[in-house]
A and B are shown apart, each in its own frame.
Chain A
Amino acid sequence: MLRDWVVISVASAYLGLLFAIAYYADRRADHGRSLIANPYIYSLSLAVYATAWTFYGSVGRAVSTGVGFLPIYIGPTLMCVLWWILLRKMILISKVHRITSLADFIASRYGKSALVAGLVTVIAVIGILPYISLQLKAISTAFQIVHSHDVEVLRASREGPFIADTAFYVALILAAFTIIFGTRHLDASERHEGMVAAIAFESLVKLIAFLAVGAFVTYGMFDGFGDVFTRARALPRVEELFVIGGSGDAHAGILASLYSASFFSMLAIMFLPRQFQVSVVENVDVNHVKTAIWLFPLYMLVINLFVPAIAFGGMLHFAGASVDPDTYVLTLPLANGHNGLGLLVFIGGLSAATGMVIVETIALSTMVCNDLAMPLLLRWRALRLNERKDLTGLLLGIRRAAILVMLLLGYLYFRVAGEAYALVSIGLISFAAVAQFAPACLGGLFWKGGTRAGALAGLSAGFIVWLYTLLVPAFARSGWVPMSLVDAGPFGIELLRPLQLLGLTGLDQITHGMIWSMLANVGAYVATSLATTQSAVEHSQATLFVDAFKHSVVGTGSLFWRGGVSVQELRALLARFLGAEKADDTLDSYARQRRLRSAWEVEADANLIQFAETKLAGAIGGASAHAMVASVVKEAPLSMDEVMSILDEASQIMKYSRELEQKSRELASAYSELRSANERLKELDKMKDDFVSHVSHELRTPLTSIRSFSEILQDYPQLDAPTRSKYLSVIIQEAERLTRLINQVLDLSKIEAGRAEWQMEDVNPREVIDHAVAATSRLFAEKAATLEVDLPADVPRIVADRDRLVQVVINLLSNAAKFCADPGGRVSVSLRVLADGIRVDVRDNGMGIAPKDHEVIFEKFRQAGDTLTAKPRGTGLGLPISREIIKHLGGRLWVESELGKGATFSFVVPLVRRAEAGGEAGEEKETEAFGARMAQAKAH
């Protein structure tokens, strides 16, 4: 007979001991001698996985489903194999990013999204509540049994007021204990050394208690495993339950449920908030994982070792009695009068339950506070939280309230729904809930393509299906929703029956829920991720998470940062959430890390902001910290578009500067072109000036004679007839000269400007020369010079302007007549046929032309005789015009001569006119250009 006061005192003493251990570990941690920096303690703390569910429920599940108790052990063991990759990566990432909870972890991966964090928190809280209620149920049931010693009283209904309900007090006591345990103070890193030490201790206690019961049943009540197992074979159903490989539908169903339970357990060991807390957040040294990889499965093996024996023992011992198999662990010792052992088992169960409740509620309260409450409160402007100097009290208050509320909700669930399910089933529903985190989390760890929208879609879809296929039926069984919804489907639509969704039948509830929720979750996650794009922060975080092993250096988190903030502003922000002292400590430690003498030398650069953000993340979670720092830093979210536009801007600027360079080069060359054009214009201007001056001179000269003699003839009427006649012939001669000059000037300017009209036709060169000889014969006759003409009989015709070609020959012949020796002048003209044209030579026996003057004579108004002899007669335009004409016909005109040896003027004209003569269009353009040049020249 165990008296209540004994049970209560022992339980209180035990809780006190836990508290002492926690306190001691915290003290040690404060002094820098961590008690938990030990791989064995780490591994034991992981055993918080084994809750009252394992402690009491495994036996119950073994009784009802045989090997069905194994998945809860097999799943985690399988997962341990992956720990070296998976858990280590999660720990590294969490240390780098100061991750404080599962919600924080997933949200960080998806661009520090507050929405993702909030959703994860909501799912975790709702999913875990049944699990917490399960612990309350276990403790209060155990207490009832120990209290009443009535092993059958347990199925009594809970109709009494909650004031009289043990579970209610258990909930309150656990809440108080957890609050004292986990939220005495606020730690920036969200680590709880004392708690971990106490949890590790509890793992030992529950293991010892369970082994003690196992040993008692196996060796005390029976003669070892052989005896128990042999006797159990006699029981109905046992063989069927404990042999895998039977036959029929039932067997397939069992296999399916084995798989689904193993699958959920695998994920649960990673994604239960408390497992994340102890294995990732509380991890001191990532190398502890090495030990945990073998020690934790070993622990699970040992604690499950006696499960079949105890189950068989209970079945044999209580055969025929209505004893809940979930309580065999406790009722077997008590029924055999071993009160001491019963008390130990009670303490062991208490350990299992309190361990779970403490860690789970602390983990959840952190999430609720950091990822749900704070973001909402900070956004609630009326509260003016942004302006509050110190928020540490508020943070602690929120966490304590969250713990209390969760335990009371757990109690409520227990009161309303707890009776309808066995322990194991409740636990699996929670497992299924946390399994919804797996796609977003694992996808985020190994697939860079996962987006925030994808995570939100996957989590939402999985959670909704979980609610519908697992929670709704549970509620229905508890009477919260009509059972008809489950049996007939909503609105009688059979396809939507929660337990046979879309007609999927023949599976147990857990397997059915697993298939649909995972299908929805993974499908939505992958499809949405593929359909959406990542923001810059998401992209940066995705890279940091997936490539965690590549860059795991603290303080290099933010790839992109821009904005401005002072150290004072950051210090004020830190002080608000951590307290002034801690804020200073933080800055000092940053300064030490940077090897600066004091925090005042710290520069508010991207590194410090990153540092402050991770420190702050410890207190209020990554998403909230990011939002807070961003609000101070005035850091606008840097979207991919913005990054692209920054790059774009840069390239624009570069392009612009290249354009500027180009422009300045163009300007420089334009300037030099302008300068040379100006030089040319000046030259042209001078040429024009000279030309005008020349023309003026050449016009004025004949005019002078004409005017003088006209006036003389008028003023001196008494002049005799011969004199008058002489003067009149001078006037006529000079007038002819004037006319000729004007014609030639116009002709030349036309040819030069390309405006001349050319009458191109087939021309016989012989006729041309005959014509010119006839026209100039008078000149030779006057001077008594001889002219020899040498023409071949057969000459090819050429294409040319006949009259102009005649003009050229006349010019050359009259020049020869003018400059040949006098007396005894001799001139010869000859025509020769070349391979591709004709050649004409006009030779005289005059005084010749000095080589330096060979080109000068082809310039306008220049005559070789200018400075050498008496001025010969002529306009000074004959040779320039002749040269222009021959050029236009595609030929060449030149002179060969030496002083005193006569001169030979020669030209060649091709049989076919060459292209260089130019087309009409080109000539027109040249005309315009010339006109423009002349206009500019005038303007100067």
Chain B
Amino acid sequence: MPKKVLIADDESNIVMSLQFLMEAAGYEVRTVADGEAALQVLREFRPDLVLLDVMMPKKNGYEICQAMREMPALQGTKVVMLTAKGREIDAEKGLALGADAYVTKPFATKDLVAKVKAMLGDT
């Protein structure tokens, strides 16, 4: 049973690349393009890990992260926040809201895959 990864980002090209990388690593992938869709899919898909973009339409990454931490079913889901905002304060904010990792765009694909694998215990 492959582990499940949800990709939430409004940039279709980025989503495309992330999907390729996660599938290549052997995970079951679902993608959403905005915050509301992300919350919906999270409940039914129950991923092991979410690659969560901060800047998304309708609901941003922080709001989703906060909501996830209030849902008992998703306590085991790892959250990797992705952001094009490079400021320290943004990373701290994400971690404070319950993210497990914080990755700044653009990222090295190998590093990201390695990080996801490590967090899912697949090393």
Contacts and interface: CB of A to CB of B under 8 A. Distances in A.
A700 B107 CA distance: 10
B120 interface: no
Contacts of A696: 84-86
A703 B109 contact: no
B105 A704 contact: yes
B12 to A, nearest CB: 9
Contacts of B18: 708
Given A703-B106, A711-B108, A866 B57 contact: yes
A870 B34 contact: yes
A706 B104 CA distance: 15
Contacts of B86: 696, 700
A730 B13 contact: yes
A225 to B, nearest CB: 138
Contacts of A709: 13, 17
Contacts of B24: 716
Give the residue among B84, B86, B87 with the most A Cβ atoms within 10 A: B84
Given A870-B33, A870-B34, A701 B14 contact: yes
B10 interface: yes
Give the residue among A698, A708, A869 with the most B Cβ atoms within 10 A: A708
Interface in A682-716: 693, 696-701, 703-709, 711-712, 715-716
B57 A869 contact: yes
A734 B13 contact: yes
Given A696-B85, A697-B84, A708-B17, A868 B106 contact: no
A871 B10 CA distance: 6
B13 A871 contact: no
Contact of B11 (A693, A705, A865, A868): A705
A693 B85 contact: yes
Contacts of A699: 84
A712 B113 CA distance: 12
A708 B109 contact: yes
Contacts of A593: none
Contact of B109 (A697, A712, A866, A868): A712
Contacts of A707: 106-109
A730 B18 CA distance: 14
A867 interface: yes
A715 B110 contact: yes
A715 B112 CA distance: 14
A566 B88 CA distance: 81
A503 B8 CA distance: 134
Give the bracket for the number of chain B residues in contact with chain A: 20 to 34
Interface string A842-859: 000000000000000000
A730 B15 CA distance: 12
B117 to A, nearest CB: 15
Contacts of B109: 707-708, 711-712, 715
Contacts of B105: 700-701, 703-704
Given A696-B86, A870-B10, A712 B21 contact: yes
A650 to B, nearest CB: 63
B45 interface: no
Give the residue among B16, B18, B55 with the most A Cβ atoms within 10 A: B16
Interface string A74-94: 000000000000000000000
Contacts of B34: 870
B18 to A, nearest CB: 7
Interface in B69-115: 84-87, 104-110
Contact of B84 (A704, A706, A712, A734): A704
A871 B85 contact: no
Contacts of A697: 55, 84-85
Nearest to B10: A871
A865 B10 CA distance: 12
A60 B18 CA distance: 154
Contact of B17 (A712, A866, A871): A712
Interface string B11-37: 101101110110010000000011000
A734 B18 CA distance: 16
Contacts of A706: 106
A715 B25 CA distance: 13
Contacts of B85: 693, 696-697
Contacts of A733: 13
Nearest to A868: B57
Given A696-B85, A700-B84, A712-B21, A705 B14 contact: yes
Nearest to A865: B57
Which A-B residue pairs are the 8 nearest by beta carbons?
A708-B17, A700-B84, A704-B105, A705-B13, A704-B106, A697-B84, A871-B10, A707-B106
30 contacts: A696-B84, A696-B85, A696-B86, A697-B55, A697-B84, A698-B84, A699-B84, A700-B84, A700-B86, A701-B105, A704-B14, A704-B107, A705-B16, A705-B17, A708-B106, A709-B17, A711-B108, A711-B109, A711-B110, A712-B17, A712-B20, A712-B109, A715-B109, A866-B57, A867-B57, A867-B58, A870-B33, A870-B34, A871-B10, A871-B33
Interface of A: 693, 696-701, 703-709, 711-712, 715-716, 730, 733-734, 865-871
Given A696-B85, A704-B14, A712-B20, 7 more contacts: A700-B84, A701-B11, A705-B17, A707-B109, A708-B18, A730-B16, A867-B58
